[in-house]
Amino acid sequence: MPGAGKGVDQICFVVPDIEASMRYWASVLGVGPFFHLRRSATRNLFFKGERTAVVSSTALAQAGGVQVEFIQLLNDVPSAYRDVLPHGLGSLHHVGRFVEDYQDTKRRLMDGGLELVQEGDAGPTINFCYLGRTGGSEPLLELIEIPGLRSFFDLISAAARDWDGVEAIREVTPNL
């Protein structure tokens, strides 16, 4: 199947308590610092073709060559975060790939048999979608349009390289 590239750029867990997850990963696993958006930056979100109004909190950190993401739902509306959890809350939800050519990569993967589950944006140059197979037990694949996020993701990566274990959680406000 024509893919989004090789490897995984991000792993994501939908969690019931984002602050507890950040503290655990920082103190026990040594992953951090986490950049915490109390309110995710998503502007337009469509789940299975229908507009949905998800309210969530997001945290991002770098663990070696892979970005770790936590999402905590703050409301109960249809979404991939609520309705597509093949292994339950707290388990791996999706793996992400940072892509330069979002539309072309999405089209190739859909032509190869993956289905569009959810799609949204966090501004005019930051699109993302989740692709999967009906009834599949594997995590979803998220495509993340990288050009509009590159500087923020570079900041997260640099902070992890220099992190001394202090200030494990850093509050940020989306400025996209």
Alpha-helical regions (H) of the chain: 18-27, 80-83, 102-111, 150-162
- pLDDT score of 86 more than 70: no
Q: What pTM does this model have? A: 0.92
* Residue 31 banded pLDDT, cuts 50, 70, 90: very high
Q: Are 131 and 139 in contact (CB under 8 A)?
A: no
Mind listing the pLDDT tens digit for each residue in 126-148?
999 999 987 777 899 999 999 98
CATH 3.40.30.10: does it fit domain 10-162?
A: no
Ordered by start, the domain boundaries in the chain are 10-162
Q: What is the pLDDT of residue 90?
A: 82
